[in-house]
């Protein structure tokens, strides 16, 4: 390896370690944009190092516990993040070379003011990893926190839980929602996107960034996981409908609703997130009325034909794309969010016209934020009936329909017409009777 490539490799590892460090302290992972790392190959490598470190976080933790007899040093700067990057490369990216994995991780640690004194410890730990561990010896259950795995086994069974965990190691596919699927079928054929259901298409393999795919610049589609499209699809929005989209950011569902021609009002508590909704709508040439408000006490001058509440939740269903989520959550968080969801549902119900529909959904795998919440709502709202989801609405896809008539998707499930799985999602649909 030349000195220049060594220098480049060092900067990439240092950038990756710095980004991973922010995630370890509780922030979400934000992939490097071009303004941070200009060279697309370097940017892809830095993102890959962080992503693999996060996907394998639990297994890396077990490995580090074995090679660090005294545990992780405190107040040690980039030590832990750089060490995790090194282990990720050693164990799960073998084509990149053991030598660079060890040397560059140690160099990053050595040149960090607070971590430098632990450089020898890092070198010894990484060499012990190199000699003493094999991927085949690792337990897949360690990929997620033990308390989460236990919950998933209880609620969905061991086979489903195992499939969910394994989905963490598979690159999440790219799902696109079409602004007008019928008019642009040739466009999706051009980019190799296969129709799933409704206006959702899935791209198998791609060699260019999303922004360079045909149709992006012209606003013919937006990126949206297939599971996230289902609540709006099942609400069957029509041009004559007035629709309230609560907790709208980042705007995928708002765009779906607006594409139907309906009059859409999008509400979110965070003004900055609403700005993102506007940017996304502007790109695809769609409009909605944007309102900054608290969904727990939202008051409007009218009632709506459709109200969609995508309530704040633990977001455990998104762990394929955001693996840090499951490590940032605690069991008590689920109960706390459940209380907030109940308040939002209570208020959202007031805003539905008689004869109108309320769709409640979350990107959570936890029943307290899904099935239990929906059942509780029905038991306390005599003026609402459940409108069960029928398999015919989903093209015969029955796997995601629960006996209660709710919708529940799980990572590891196979979707219609396509390869790969999907995010975890819950949705329930209610009709106001009076």
pLDDT interval class at 183 (50, 70, 90): confident
pLDDT of residue 6: 54
Q: How far is CA 67 from the centre of its chain?
A: 32
pLDDT of residue 205: 79
Beta bridge partners of 290: 266
Q: Which CATH superfamily is domain 174-432 in?
A: Vaccinia Virus protein VP39 (3.40.50.150)
SS3 assignment, position 350: helix
Selected catalytic residue, list 247, 313, 361, 363: 363
Q: Where in the chain is the domain with CATH 1.10.940.10?
A: 3-138
pLDDT of residue 259: 96
411: pLDDT strictly greater than 90: yes
CA distance 92 to 12: 17
pTM score, two decimals?
0.92
SS3 assignment, position 359: strand
**196: phi then psi, degrees, rounded to nearest 5:** -100, -70
User: pLDDT (tens digit, 9 = 90+) per residue, 221-252?
Assistant: 999 999 999 999 999 999 999 999 999 999 99
End-to-end Cα separation, the chain, in angstroms: 74
Closest CA to 243 of 228, 231, 227, 254: 254
pLDDT of residue 304: 98
User: pLDDT (tens digit, 9 = 90+) per residue, 251-301?
Assistant: 999 999 999 999 999 999 999 999 999 999 999 999 999 999 999 999 888
Structure tokens, 288: 């909605």
pLDDT of residue 141: 96
Closest CA to 139 of 48, 66, 68: 66
How would DSSP label each residue in 113-176?
TTTGGGHHHHHHHHHHHHHH--GGGS-GGGGS-HHHHHHHHHHH-HHHHHHHHHGGGSPPPEEE
pLDDT of residue 4: 44
Give catalytic status of residue 361 as yes or no: no
31: pLDDT strictly greater than 90: yes
Q: Where in the chain is the domain with CATH 3.40.50.150?
A: 174-432
Q: How far is CA 127 from the centre of its chain?
A: 34
CA distance 48 to 43: 8
**Percent of the chain clearing pLDDT 70 (strictly above):** 98
| Domain 3-138: top CATH class | mainly alpha
Say if residues 166 and 139 touch (Cβ distance below 8 Å): no
User: pLDDT (tens digit, 9 = 90+) per residue, 36-77?
Assistant: 999 989 999 999 999 999 999 999 999 999 999 999 999 999
User: pLDDT (tens digit, 9 = 90+) per residue, 349-392?
Assistant: 999 999 999 999 999 999 999 999 999 999 999 999 999 999 99
CA distance 62 to 237: 48
Residue in the block written with tokens 């791609």: 206
User: pLDDT (tens digit, 9 = 90+) per residue, 149-173?
Assistant: 999 999 999 999 999 999 999 888 8
């Amino acid at each position: 390896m030349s000195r220049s490539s060594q220098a480049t490799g060092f900067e990439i590892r240092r950038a990756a370690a710095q980004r991973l460090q922010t995630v370890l302290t509780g922030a979400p992972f934000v992939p490097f944009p071009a303004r941070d790392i200009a060279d697309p190959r370097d940017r892809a490598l830095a993102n890959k190092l962080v992503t693999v470190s996060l996907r394998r976080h639990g297994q890396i933790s077990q490995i580090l516990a074995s090679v660090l007899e005294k545990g992780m040093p405190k107040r040690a700067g980039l030590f832990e993040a750089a060490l995790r990057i090194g282990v990720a490369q050693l164990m799960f990216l073998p084509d990149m070379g053991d030598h660079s994995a060890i040397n560059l991780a140690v160099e990053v640690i050595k040149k960090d003011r607070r971590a430098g004194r632990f450089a020898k410890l890092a070198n010894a730990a990484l060499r012990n990893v190199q000699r003493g561990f094999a991927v085949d010896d690792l337990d897949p259950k360690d990929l997620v926190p033990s308390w989460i795995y236990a919950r998933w086994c209880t609620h969905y069974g061991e086979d489903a839980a195992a499939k969910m965990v394994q989905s963490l190691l598979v690159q999440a596919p790219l799902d696109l929602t079409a602004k007008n699927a019928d008019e642009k079928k040739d466009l999706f054929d051009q980019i190799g996107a296969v129709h799933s259901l409704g206006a959702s298409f899935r791209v198998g393999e791609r060699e260019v960034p999303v922004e360079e795919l045909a149709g992006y610049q012209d606003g013919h589609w937006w990126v949206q996981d297939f599971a996230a499209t289902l609540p709006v699809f099942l609400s069957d929005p029509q041009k004559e409908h007035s629709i309230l989209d609560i907790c709208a950011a980042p705007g995928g569902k708002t765009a779906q609703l607006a594409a139907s021609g309906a009059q859409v009002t999008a509400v979110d508590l965070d003004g900055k997130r609403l700005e993102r909704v506007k940017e996304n709508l502007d790109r695809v040439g769609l409009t909605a009325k944007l309102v900054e408000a608290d969904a727990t006490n939202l008051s409007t001058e009218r009632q709506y034909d459709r109200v969609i509440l995508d309530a704040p939740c633990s977001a455990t269903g998104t762990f394929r794309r955001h693996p840090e989520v499951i490590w940032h959550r605690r069991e008590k968080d689920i109960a706390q969010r459940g209380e907030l969801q109940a308040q939002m549902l209570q208020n959202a119900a007031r805003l539905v016209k008689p004869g109108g529909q309320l769709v409640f959904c979350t990107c959570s795998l936890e029943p307290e934020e899904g099935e239990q919440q929906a059942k509780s709502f029905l038991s306390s709202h005599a003026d609402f009936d459940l409108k069960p989801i029928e398999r015919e609405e989903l093209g015969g896809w029955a796997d995601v329909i629960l006996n209660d008539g709710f919708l529940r998707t799980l990572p590891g499930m196979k979707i219609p017409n396509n390869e790969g799985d999907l995010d975890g999602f819950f949705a329930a649909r209610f009709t106001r009777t009076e």
